[in-house]
Amino acid sequence: MKRPIKKLLCSLIGVSLIISVAGCHGRQTGTAQSESETTTKAGTSETTAKAEVTAEEVKSTEGTSMKAEGQKFQYRPGDVITFGKFEQDNKESNGKEDIEWIILAREGSKALVISRCALACKPYNTKKTDVTWETCSLRKWLNKDFYESAFDEEDKGYIIKTDVPADKNPEYKTSQGKPTKDNVFLLSIAEFNKYFTSEKNVMCDGTPCCQAQDKTRNATTFVWWLRTTGYSKRHAACVLYYADGPVTNYGVFVNRVSGCTSMEELGNSGVRPAMWIELPDHYASQNKKMNAWVEGYATAHISYNTPDGEVWADIPNVPCYILYTDGFPSSAGEVRPRGGTDKTIEEWLLSNIGNVGYGWAGDSVLVAGTGHI
């Protein structure tokens, strides 16, 4: 994916970017930005990226490199892992794609994860009738059709059958039915409020396959279901991202796919499965890899042209995701942006270069052949 470099004040500017890792997990960002699906790949003559990290908690500082010391990485909340496969690009001929999951919590070797994207566009229940999580059709789909399709026998061995509580709706006294035992479930309002303490990751894109299931319009950003019953047992809560808060406790009709009767432009109701798993360092199978996008920091190497020639500058501590495979930085050396990437680069350039008539705007800093950041 290539886009032209934007020119802020001068037609002579040209900006190129390469990423090298400076440290991991020194800090976290709560900025809600749509994170690009495109990765920046190292290994060309123009671009290099290498991840070096300790097993101990460290802070990212300018000019500091983190050495691996031969120890594996402990994945933490906010990191993104791949686990299982599911049809997502709407091209069945090329097989299923790896599912990406955001780690919400860790308890020892266990991890609570939720899909990064909405994987399906479905109603909470196929009929408009009184229903709870215990009896809804979406629960049946998740624990039968989705579970059987997305996970092979080895994957299933890592999934923990979970006691799912019938958490109350904080605003309404509607019955929530009985607790359940599920391999796969939706978050409740209480769990959403516990694990989504900022707007980060609240916005949810649907996969191309999910978008194709939308019968009313071509949605890309989706409202997504929670399991909590709403105003009545014919309503189920969902996550919106407007006005006073991101959760609709009132809910929408359980048989609807559209997110809200009067606000269909906000997107349609997507499904973000959640589950507890034993998080493996690596698979037992030789042909399977545990990949993870680990929150980290990088140095962006920026070049730009002036009337006097090419000038280089380093921008330290740029937020990014770093690709890990089986617990170690990937030999592919891939990185990709996360919340705060664009803002950090933009603020540095405008502060340090803008005074001389050169700068950068938007998110169009490109390197040929490496995607965008």
Is there a single domain that holds both residue 62 and residue 113? no
Is there a single domain that holds both residue 193 and residue 147? yes
In a domain, 317, yes or no: no
Is there a single domain that holds both residue 106 and residue 221? yes
Q: What is the pLDDT of residues 137-147, one digit of tens each?
A: 999 999 999 99
* Spatial distance between the Cα atoms of 224 and 114, rounded to a whole number of angstroms: 12
Is there a single domain that holds both residue 51 and residue 163? no
Is there a single domain that holds both residue 236 and residue 118? yes
Is there a single domain that holds both residue 85 and residue 198? yes
Question: Which residue range forms the structural domain that includes residue 247?
Answer: 80-278
- Average pLDDT estimate for 154-181: 97
- Average pLDDT estimate for 261-281: 75
Q: What is the pLDDT of residue 154?
A: 94
Residues 6+ apart with CB under 8 A from 217: 264, 268
* Spatial distance between the Cα atoms of 65 and 143, rounded to a whole number of angstroms: 44
- Average pLDDT estimate for 6-27: 33
Q: What is the pLDDT of residue 35?
A: 39
Q: What is the pLDDT of residue 218?
A: 57
Lowest mean pLDDT among 83-97, 232-246, 268-282: 232-246
Token pair for 209: 């396959």
Is there a single domain that holds both residue 39 and residue 115? no
Q: What is the pLDDT of residues 47-75, one digit of tens each?
A: 333 333 332 332 332 222 222 333 455 78
For residues 316 and 63, the answer to whether their CB atoms sit within 8 Å is: yes
Q: What is the pLDDT of residues 168-224, one digit of tens each?
A: 999 999 999 999 999 999 999 999 999 998 888 888 888 888 788 776 655 566 789
Token pair for 175: 């019955």
Q: What percent of the chain has pLDDT over 90?
A: 35
Is there a single domain that holds both residue 143 and residue 56? no
- Domain count of the fold of the chain: 2
Q: What is the pTM of this model?
A: 0.74
